[in-house]
Amino acid sequence: MKSMTIIHVLFLFSLLSSIPHYSYASVNDFCVADLKGPDSPSGYNCKPVSAVTADDFVYSGLVAGDTNNTFKAALTSAFVTDFPAVNGLGVSAARLDIAKGGSIPMHTHPGATELLIMVEGEITAGFMTPFALYSKTLKPGDVFVFPQGQLHYQVNSGKKKATAFLAFSSANPGAQLLDLLLFGNALSSDIVAQTTFLDIDQVKKLKARFGGKNLSKHMSM
């Protein structure tokens, strides 16, 4: 009898864990975000339906970004904080512009799969796993998918500006750029050099470029 009770309890736990996570938008037809309130795993609270208009479902901001920066690239986003109508829908978009010689460095999106749709120019893109590299040079009309959480990159490998549109499986995909994580912090240059096998002078140069601090490993934080 006791063993049967344990089995029933285990079954109940497995059933509960299999229930999908619901956002506000999946319970209602939609949920235009009220950005004045807090964000949560379910998304933002909904704007009152009586205050929603057709304009809420249109975003006109995917224009060319400024590529005059370290990466010679610009990402113009239509995430939930830009386009509140995608709140809870598990989707968002962006525009990617990369000048000649520019790139988007190694990065991940922990919470989303990314779809890249080529529009203009040429981009060499790829992602890697512990066991393989998947890389391809893309032309207009090509589509490349980056699975969720995989380390990936995009490089303008052509002779002119490159443009692509991006789609994400999250209203707020987030991003972790490897260069900024390694060199845009206050971790001592000595430790960064020891853990990356880079020359200490090169580490200091990269920290200066990405806004990090060149602290001694003996200095308290």
Sequence ranges of the binding site for oxalate: 109, 114
Residues near 171 by beta carbon (within 8 Å), at least 6 away in sequence: 43, 79, 80, 86, 87, 88, 89, 90, 91, 92
CA-nearest of 160, 122, 169, 156 to 141 is 122
Structure tokens at 180: 């900024």
Helices 189-196 and 200-210: crossing angle in degrees, nearest 10, is: 120
Q: Which residues are annotated as a binding site for Mn(2+)?
A: 107, 109, 114, 152
> Per DSSP, which regions of 68-218 are E strands?
73-78, 92-98, 103-108, 114-120, 123-128, 133-138, 143-146, 151-156, 162-168, 176-177
Name the helix (H) or strand (E) containing 88: none
Radius of gyration, alpha carbons of the chain? 22
Residues tagged in the binding site annotation: 107, 109, 114, 152
Distances (CA, A) of 27 to 31, 82, 88, 155: 9, 23, 10, 40
| CA nearest to 153, candidates 112, 104, 117, 113 | 104
The answer to whether 160 touches 96, Cβ cutoff 8 Å, is no
